[in-house]
Structure 1
């Protein structure tokens, strides 16, 4: 497993396994995952975020258009949409169960070790432990489907 340091904690990541698991998953914008208007908008908007935000996802092997549970928390407020989304990757945070919000560009990310049972309705059945949940809060310019 690769290691990165976040908030003075070691996060171990099986990036290659995560990439492999994401490869066969549908995009959140597709009916096979959800396909609702919020998910469609999120999938379009997230690809237009800063390179800094996209790189943060990439270091974990996470495709930001797939696997997530997405909620548009504040729709089209002054031309912007605020979303919360939860992702998962194969890995573990050492020395703590979770990391508080980390500001990266226009997004905030939180990480937590998943200690729940598998299978889970929130996690694809192809995933196996250890799993870290990656939460993001982000405000992006509104787009139309």
Structure 2
């Protein structure tokens, strides 16, 4: 089912069925077991219903990110992560690149997440991911929840 969705400054055309099917059928989080990755995935279990529902409406399993990086701790002791998820679809209207424009774009803000869509500079796409592809990019600050020490 392809549907058009407006979120903030974006209008995207999303193939919800193909996106959801990909996330259901593929184990995207099995490729790294480092503490940084484990902590992000554990935090997915603590997402608010609003944030989880946002991902669900896009067909995304939040524990199966395309890629993310961490950028240390903030003053509250939360870990700064940035990363992205892949969706099957197109950007119809709105910014097509946000990587260098985080402070000037009307990001989607839910809890400690800032999110936006991009169709340029798409990275780390699995070879079998369906096309066309857009990236849901995010920046967030989340607690260190696993028992292993942050390093």
**How many aligned residue pairs are there?**
138
Change (3 A) 1:106 1:115: closer
Structure-2-length-normalised TM-score: 0.80
Offset at residue 114 of structure 1 (A): 4.4
Q: How does 1:1-145 map to 2 (within 5 A)?
A: 1-28=2-29, 30=30, 33-75=31-73, 77-96=75-94, 97-98=96-97, 100=105, 101-114=107-120, 122-145=124-147
Query: In 1, Cα distance between the equivalents of 2:53 and 2:144?
Result: 22
Please, which runs of 5 or more residues in structure 1 have no aligned partner?
none
Mapped contact 2:20–2:59 kept (Cα < 8 A): yes
Which structure: greater strand fraction? 1
Distance, in Å, in 2 between the alignment partners of 1:98 and 1:44 is 29
Alpha-carbon distance change, 127 to 64 in structure 1, aligned in 2, over 3 angstroms: same
User: Considering only aligned residues, what root-mean-square deviation do their CA atoms show, in Å?
Assistant: 2.1
Would you identify which runs of 4 or more consecutive aligned residues in structure 1 move more than 4 Å?
none
Using the TM superposition, give the Cα deviation of residue 56 of structure 1 relative to its aligned residue in structure 2, in angstroms: 1.4
Gaps of 5+ in 2: 99-104
What is the aligned partner in structure 1 of residue 102 from structure 2?
none
